[in-house]
Amino acid sequence: MSVDEDAIGKTVIELEKSFNERWSAGDNRGYLDAFADEVSYLDPILENILVGRDEVIAWIDSIYSNPHIVRSEYLNPQVHVSDAGDLAVLAYNLKTFVLDEDGKEKQLRAWNATHGYRLIDGQWRIVHSNWAFSRTVTEKIAS
């Protein structure tokens, strides 16, 4: 049986975009509902890795607020698929944009994102999530 890496890659990218679009509009549940029980998680303001769905959700809920993102650019997506077709690692660059005081778009953040997806009971679940700023900052933010 051969694995259709292109189809898996497209599926994972579309899932990621759908989760991110929900996040951008004020609904963080897309990502949170997609986390596997054993998910591991890193972001730029964490000192240590978080492991486990409940711990990760509690962390994100504690820092999340509606970012009011009006547009996102998904750049340079790369998907690596396991030989068995049940694990995919997605890495991409993300630029997010909000409206300024004059109603014009301005860039909010530039991210480097890496997510590991595993096919569990017929659904792609996030087993690892890593968010990093493409530029260093020192403030606590979640979008």
Q: What is the mean pLDDT of residues 121-131?
A: 98
Residue 55 pLDDT more than 60?
A: yes
- Residues 21-48 have pLDDT tens digits of 999 999 999 899 999 999 999 999 999 9
How many other CB atoms sit within 10 Å of the CB of residue 104?
8
110 pairs with which residues across the strands?
95
- CA–CA gap between residue 66 and residue 45 (Å, rounded): 18
- CA–CA gap between residue 74 and residue 51 (Å, rounded): 26
The pTM of this model reads: 0.90
Confirm if 125 and 115 have CB atoms less than 8 A apart.
no
